[in-house]
Amino acid sequence: MDERFIEYAERSVDAERDSAVRRACSTVASDGREDCVDCGEVLNPARRAAAPFAVRCLECQQANERGRRT
């Protein structure tokens, strides 16, 4: 194969991957919430930064996970 073809293919794959990552990041950021679905409290900004897709405050999330284990 021609080296130019390989370079073109690599650039195409990189561009597709970058586009997919941007779309995924946008979806994750837009699907998050500002308030907890369980208690209604505003989510801590540090939690939103760490998990932009979070729908529960940390305390409610931990309680939810404990409930699933029992």
Question: For 1-70, where are the alpha helices, taking DSSP H only?
Answer: 3-31, 45-50, 58-69
CB atoms within 10 A of CB 7: 10
Q: Give me the pLDDT at residue 18, please.
A: 85
> Distance between CA 27 and CA 19 in Å, rounded?
12
What average pLDDT does the segment 40-63 reach?
A: 90
Q: In this structure, what DSSP letter does residue 56 have?
A: S
* Averaged pLDDT, 17-46: 80
pTM for the structure as a whole: 0.51
Percentage of the chain modeled with pLDDT above 90: 34
Q: Is the model more confident about 23 or about 50?
A: 50
Strand, coil or helix: 3: helix
